[in-house]
A and B are shown apart, each in its own frame.
Chain A
Amino acid sequence: GNSVTQMEGPVTLSEEAFLTINCTYTATGYPSLFWYVQYPGEGLQLLLKATKADDKGSNKGFEATYRKETTSFHLEKGSVQVSDSAVYFCALSYNTDKLIFGTGTRLQVFP
């Protein structure tokens, strides 16, 4: 079946460090891929998405590239801030309303 696998957290970084959160997927066909972010005490919100192979999604300094050959959608940011501390969820969808989520990766950024 379709699934999403994320690296386990927490990921702990100092401010201005480089961030990578790995995400790989198992799916037939060509799903759309997403990163959602959940700040403490809040619901999830869309961070970025990519709908086809080699597309790069970007937002707020975060980037992720849809890699069909490695079935990956890794999240990166060049310089993290304390305000980036949150839980990050990778997800996929097949042009429908249903999202399949990974288990989430908690990021903690310290000054």
Chain B
Amino acid sequence: NAGVTQTPKFQVLKTGQSMTLQCAQDMNHEYMSWYRQDPGMGLRLIHYSVGAGITDQGEVPNGYNVSRSTTEDFPLRLLSAAPSQTSVYFCASSGLAGGRETQYFGPGTRLLVL
């Protein structure tokens, strides 16, 4: 199993550009989520999904969109990047079988918005 994979690993954007951060898991997990990690602030939940076709907002959703068309994939879209979105982004998943609260994290995407 590859677990949770994220692409790209690094990305530099200019203000106003758009991009999609990819996340995929091969553990058949129902739950997937996106966090951002900023210095001194820990991880903050952006969006999450409890299953295909179902998404909801987390703590810091503004400026981000998500969709969940399949169980495996949960892309995060930045429609118009801003410098405040410079951060490290982590995707995570969990499943009923392993305990919903135990989340598996991807390696992260480091994003710099100029």
Residue numbers of A with Cβ under 8 A of B are 4, 32, 34, 36, 41-46, 49, 89, 93, 95-99, 101-104
Contacts and interface: CB of A to CB of B under 8 A. Distances in A.
Interface of B: 4, 31, 33, 40-45, 48, 50, 58, 90, 92, 94, 100-108
A4 B94 CA distance: 21
Contacts of A32: 101
Contact of A97 (B41, B103, B107): B103
B43 A45 contact: no
Given A95-B100, A97-B48, A42 B107 contact: yes
A98 B41 contact: no
B43 A97 contact: no
Nearest to B99: A49
A99 B42 contact: no
Given A44-B43, A101-B43, A103-B42, A96 B105 contact: no
B43 A96 contact: no
Contact of B42 (A41, A45, A89): A89
A102 B43 CA distance: 8
Contacts of A4: 42
A64 to B, nearest CB: 15
Contacts of A43: 4, 90, 92, 105-108
Given A43-B106, A43-B107, A43-B108, A95 B43 contact: no
A41 B9 CA distance: 10
Given A44-B43, A89-B42, A102-B42, A97 B101 contact: yes
A99 B31 CA distance: 12
A101 B4 CA distance: 20
Contacts of B92: 43-44
Given A97-B100, A97-B101, A101-B44, 15 more contacts: A4-B42, A36-B105, A42-B108, A43-B105, A44-B43, A44-B105, A45-B105, A97-B31, A98-B45, A99-B43, A99-B45, A99-B101, A99-B103, A102-B42, A103-B41
A93 B43 contact: no
